[in-house]
Amino acid sequence: MKTISRKGFLTVIIAIASASAFGQAYLEDPKYGADVETRKECAEKTSMYQEYYRQNNFKDAYAPWQVVFNICPMQSLNIYIRGSKVLKYKIEETADPNRKKILIDSLMLMHDRRIEHFNKKGNVLGTKAQDLYTLAPERYEEAFKIAEEAVNITQNQTEISVLFTYMTLTRVMYENKKIEADKVIELYSTISDFADVQVAKKPEDNVKQAKDGIDAIFTQMGVAKCENIVAIFTPKFNANPNDVNLSKKIKALMGSSKECSKEPLFLKANLVVYKAEPSSDLAYDIAHLYIDAKQPKDAELYYNEAINSESDVNKRANYFYELASLTFTELKNPTQAKAMANKALEENPNLGRVYKLIGDMYASERNCGNDDFEKKAVFWAAVDKYAKAKQVEPELEESMNSLISTYSQYFPTKEDIFFHDLKVGDTFSIGCWINERTVVRERK
């Protein structure tokens, strides 16, 4: 004959007393059961399992909780919140594999019943997938399908822990040859996007760590090779060349790799996104992609797009500077290059590298002047710019001094200066595109 401990007896007495505290209203409430007797039993067993639960006595809470779950599943959300702990205790306590499977199935049923009576399907399915994979990892395929359904419902509102589990299950599915590399890449793209939303919403360390974990799982899988992404997404892009969401996925997947960023597909995807959502930053990125593709005229176009849509003076100054460099080195247009450099200085007069660029442009000119003397005079102007560069940006002093020393050796000699009826310290005008006034100096 089964005996009840004194503590257990007191618990039952307290539970019965608590049941009477429900009053009579519950006898008319259908959520407590189909009839009066069922409702009385529901109230009594609820009080009993709750008392055991408060004592962390999950073992004895199980039997009355099970009755409540079966006869009045609509009575309270606590049936499912507390029932999860009770069932997990029973599962961990059980050594019999058959019994363990039955209890795990009961936990899965409990999640389904919670959805049926209290909605929140996406969130509950996420928890269900986590529980199933944690307690029965051999049922990974079933857990993966549940997680997939959960994320399809909750989208970018999916909890970060569920997204981490979904990525983990994706890896397990791939390792067991249940899905192919293209599916992995597609899923990671979605999971990563949703995880970014969660990090932005909750920038706590644990959320960031989970996002890092998602990225690490994908990286370790070895499917993110550039050739894989190109092979998988090129046909998709060609079939839907104006699909902005597809192009965003391609951009996100390929953008982290310098190797991938040189692929034509990456440039095409960026152009689609830019057309739909133009921005200064993206125009600037596209300009760089065109430089890598050896298409300087197209790069020039997107530098101008970036400049025209940017309000930040420091960014505009940098864009003008880079455009000046491109115009000089690739487009071979020194007049336009100098104009762009001067615009950079209008935005930010303290950019020493812009003065250096102008100095380099002057120093490279070999045909500005009618004779050898005038052609050497360009080095005066170049040195002027190097001196200005170190003045506005002192950290450039060492490198500018080196350039000044180098190009001062090409100054006209004292004899050359005298022959041209000039003396050291005179003002001298340089023509051609340089169009600068400088000071006469002799070679030392």
Q: Residue 93: inside a domain, yes or no?
A: yes
Average pLDDT over every residue of 377-384: 98
3-state SS class at 436? strand
Give residue 344's Cα distance to chain centre.
32
pLDDT at 50: 97
Q: Which helix (H) or strand (E) covers residue 189, if one does?
A: helix 181-201
Contacts of 78 by beta carbon, 8 Å cutoff, 6+ apart: 50
Contact 411, 403 (CB under 8 A): no
Q: Residue 439: inside a domain, yes or no?
A: yes
pLDDT at 17: 46
Q: Residue 241: inside a domain, yes or no?
A: no
Confidence of residue 3 (pLDDT cuts 50, 70, 90): very low
Amino acid at 281: D
Last residue of a domain, one of 52, 84, 119: 119
Neighbours of 329 (CB within 10 A): 14
Residues 417-431 as b or e (16 or more Cβ within 10 Å = b): beebebeeeeebebe
CA–CA separation, 37 and 19 (whole Å):
13
pLDDT at 356: 98
Average pLDDT over every residue of 177-187: 94
3-state SS class at 439? strand
CA–CA separation, 239 and 159 (whole Å):
33
Give residue 129's Cα distance to chain centre.
25
Answer whether residue 186 shows pLDDT above 50: yes
pLDDT at 292: 95
Give residue 232's Cα distance to chain centre.
21
Q: Residue 298: inside a domain, yes or no?
A: no
Write the pLDDT tens digit of every residue in 111-163: 999 999 999 999 999 999 999 999 999 999 999 999 999 999 999 999 999 99
- Would residue 222 be called left, alpha or beta, if left means φ above 0 and alpha means ψ between -120 and 50 degrees? left
Confidence of residue 22 (pLDDT cuts 50, 70, 90): low
Among 7-11, 343-347, 413-417, name the one with the lowest average pLDDT. Answer: 7-11
Backbone angles phi, psi at 376, to 5 degrees: -75, -20
| Domain that includes residue 440, residue range | 350-444
Average pLDDT over every residue of 207-231: 92
Q: Residue 208: inside a domain, yes or no?
A: no
CA–CA separation, 229 and 253 (whole Å):
8
18: nearest Cα among 47, 45, 50, 40? 47
Percent of the chain with pLDDT over 70: 95
Number of domains in the chain: 2
Structure tokens at 193: 């996007």
Q: Residue 406: inside a domain, yes or no?
A: yes
- String of DSSP letters for 283-323: HHHHHHHHHHTT-HHHHHHHHHHHHHT---HHHHHHHHHHH
Output the pTM of the full model: 0.72
Backbone angles phi, psi at 437, to 5 degrees: -100, 130
More confident residue, 15 or 358: 358
265: nearest Cα among 277, 253, 282, 275? 253
Output the CA–CA distances (angstroms, integers) from residue 422 to 168, 400, 411, in the order listed: 80, 27, 14
pLDDT at 27: 87
Last residue of a domain, one of 69, 90, 119: 119
360: nearest Cα among 389, 393, 339, 336? 389
Output the CA–CA distances (angstroms, integers) from residue 84 to 95, 107, 121, 136, 189, in the order listed: 19, 7, 16, 15, 32
Last residue of a domain, one of 69, 85, 119: 119
Among 39-43, 229-233, 286-290, 328-332, name the one with the lowest average pLDDT. Answer: 229-233
Average pLDDT over every residue of 237-243: 95
Q: Residue 359: inside a domain, yes or no?
A: yes
CA–CA separation, 189 and 255 (whole Å):
12
Q: Residue 314: inside a domain, yes or no?
A: no
CA–CA separation, 371 and 152 (whole Å):
76
pLDDT at 21: 47
pLDDT at 259: 84
427: nearest Cα among 438, 416, 415? 438
Write the pLDDT tens digit of every residue in 56-109: 999 999 999 999 999 999 999 999 999 999 999 999 999 999 999 999 999 999
Average pLDDT over every residue of 274-284: 98
Answer whether residue 1 shows pLDDT above 60: no
More confident residue, 307 or 25: 307
Write the pLDDT tens digit of every residue in 311-369: 999 999 999 999 999 999 999 999 999 999 999 999 999 999 999 999 999 999 999 99
Instruction: Tell me whether residue 344 is exposed, middle or buried, using C-beta atoms within 10 angstroms of its C-beta: 0 to 12, 13 to 18, 19 or more.
Output: buried
pLDDT at 418: 96
Percent of the chain with pLDDT over 90: 86
